[in-house]
Amino acid sequence: MKPYCAPAWLPGGHAQTLWPLLIKPRPLPLRRERVDAPDGDFIDIDWLDGPPGAPLLVLFHGLEGSAQSHYGLSAALACKRHGWRLALPHFRGCSGELNRRPRAYHSGDSEEIDWILRRLRDGADRRLHAAGVSLGGNALLKWAGECGKTAGEVVTGVAAICPPLDLAACGHHLARGFNRIYTRHFLDTMKHVSAERLRRFPGLFDAARMRRAATLWDFDDAVTGPVHGFAGADDYWRRCSAKPFLKSIAVPALAVNPKNDPFLPARFLPAPAEASRTVRLEQPAEGGHVGFVSGNFPGNLDWLPQRLLHFFLHETAQTP
């Protein structure tokens, strides 16, 4: 499959990041399943059903994303065209209903990735194709690195699209210049959901610090870190960045990181020596953050789902 090349009419990382929000496809009817978590909580999984025995792609969304994010919608269309099934798990609190337990989700939530994949594997007659976008991609790569060879019992391989492999570099970069517009977008929804969670679980974190948070570091230091057992933002970002885990991945893996991604400067992207031989590092010059618009104006979002399907069809082992 040809590497991604941005159309001439859509230059720049910010435009390539934001334009997909305006051209995302119409949603397909999906079946929602509520699944109980091991700790008594729940997650919601949106399903695109297909023929029994059809390949199953599991796609984990990004920060504050959902099955209705543009990449989820385009993946559903591509899977329907090719006769694949698709599972879109929602991280806790992202399906439109507050979860039952104090914990939410975070960029290194490999424990959550593990039980979701293993539960879906129990209901499948073959290993899963697992992909993640942005935060979901980082968590998935971390999971694969932690599991090593045993990941191959569950998945054929893993694919990560625009994973923030260095969370500190990403978080600090999003606090500067135009990038602050992305931070404000994330904080608006994260603060709203966190306030709802605090009403249900008084004393879970410092409400005043949460309200004052103006950067992702502020929020993660006040909320994400304490709620999920980290000493603060620095500890969370250090322990949950997927980059150090790339050398331990033993299954076929794909990491696509455009060099003009506004979330992660190119100088922080890994070199081949920083990953195992099973990891394919694909770093096109353009693409933005989960953009990958292609075609004539106004463009389409076909490239990304086609890249995922091509990887799992032709670049991973298919035997169960």
CB atoms within 10 A of CB 96: 10
Helix axes 135-147, 110-122, angle to 10 degrees: 80
- Give me Rg for the CA atoms of the chain: 18
Annotated active-site residue 134? The verdict is: yes
CA dihedral 194, 92, 84, 5 (to 10 degrees): 40
Annotated active-site residue 66? The verdict is: no
- The single residue of 69, 110, 134, 248 carrying the catalytic annotation is 134
Annotated active-site residue 261? The verdict is: yes
By the 10 Å C-beta count (0-12 exposed, 13-18 middle, 19+ buried), 147 is classed as: buried
Residues designated as active site:
134, 261, 289
